[in-house]
Amino acid sequence: MSPPPHLQFKLANEPDEFDQIHQLNHRTFTGEIPQHPGNPTGRLVDRFHAENTYAICLDGRQLVGMVALRGRRPFSLDGKLPDLDSHLPAGRRICEIRLLAVEQPYRHSHVFPGLVLKVMEHFIREGFNLAIISGTVRQSRLYRHLGFVPFGPLVGTGEAVFQPMQLSLENFLSRTKLPPPAPGKPPSAQ
């Protein structure tokens, strides 16, 4: 089943899209998941913003979901789990997927699967073969369903507790039933 035509999945590239990303980042990670203190601007610019690639979902011009991908170390998880490499398989090209946020009315819809597909297309195009995340423990079941495998101890504090998880390209492709990509080409979502 394809997403409704009013939803557009893309990589963020417009100033207004980035402003909306900072607003959604603030609402999600200072309010819903209290990982950061709030601020009066209602905007939270990620410390890795300049290096992030954001897959977004727009309903018209309104941002309704986002997820970020970054392939440069140190990852945010390096700061939470000092022995990160000891938990990961050797010989992999690793990226970190972060900042998954979907507006409440759009949860349990086409938005989350569309964001996952868009970020994974970019993941494959860039030659990564292992993704790591700090998945909120509130959504552990969802991440496992997608093929993420937990590793290491829980990180974070209070209401912002996360499980480090990893997803290999092979596991993603087997879970989604997508064909392996041709060299340099992302899988299609037929």
Q: What is the pLDDT of residue 184?
A: 53
Q: What is the pLDDT of residue 16?
A: 97
168 bridge partner residues? 130
Q: What is the pLDDT of residue 186?
A: 47
Q: How far apart are the first and last CA of the chain?
A: 9
Q: What is the pLDDT of residue 179?
A: 57
In a domain, 67, yes or no: yes
In a domain, 182, yes or no: no
Looking only at the bridges linking them, the beta strands covering 94-102 and 149-150 are: unpaired
In a domain, 57, yes or no: yes
Q: What is the pLDDT of residue 63?
A: 97
157 bridge partner residues? 160
In a domain, 155, yes or no: yes
Q: What is the pLDDT of residue 75?
A: 96
Side-chain half-sphere CA neighbours of 164 within 13 A: 21
Q: What is the pLDDT of residue 146?
A: 83
7 bridge partner residues? 59
Query: How many structural domains does the chain have?
Result: 1
Q: What is the pLDDT of residue 112?
A: 87
The 10s digit of each residue's pLDDT in 92-115 is 999 999 999 999 999 888 898 899
**Phi and psi dihedrals of 97, rounded to 5?**
-105, 130
In a domain, 186, yes or no: no
Q: What is the pLDDT of residue 166?
A: 97
In a domain, 62, yes or no: yes
Looking up residue 88, the CATH number of its domain turns out to be 3.40.630.30
Q: Which domain holds residue 145?
A: 7-176
CB 103 within 8 A of CB 65: yes
Question: In terms of Cα–Cα distance, which of 120, 3, 1, 108 is closest to 59?
Answer: 3
Instruction: Going residue by residue through the chain, which has 190 residues, state the pLDDT in tens, using 9 for 90 and above.
Output: 556 678 999 999 999 999 999 999 999 888 776 677 788 888 989 999 999 999 999 999 999 999 999 999 999 999 999 899 999 999 999 999 999 999 999 988 889 889 988 998 999 999 999 999 998 888 888 888 888 999 999 998 877 788 999 999 998 888 776 555 555 554 443 3
In a domain, 71, yes or no: yes
**Phi and psi dihedrals of 143, rounded to 5?**
-60, -40
SS (H, E, C) the chain: CCCCCCEEEEECCCHHHHHHHHHHHHHHHHHHCCCCCCCCCCCCCCCCHHHCEEEEEEECCEEEEEEEEECCCCCHHHHHCCCHHHHCCCCCCEEEEEEEEECHHHCCCCHHHHHHHHHHHHHHHCCCCEEEEEEEHHHHHHHHHCCCEECCCCEEECCEEEEEEEEEHHHHHHHHCCCCCCCCCCCCCC
Query: Which pTM value belongs to this model?
Result: 0.85
In a domain, 17, yes or no: yes
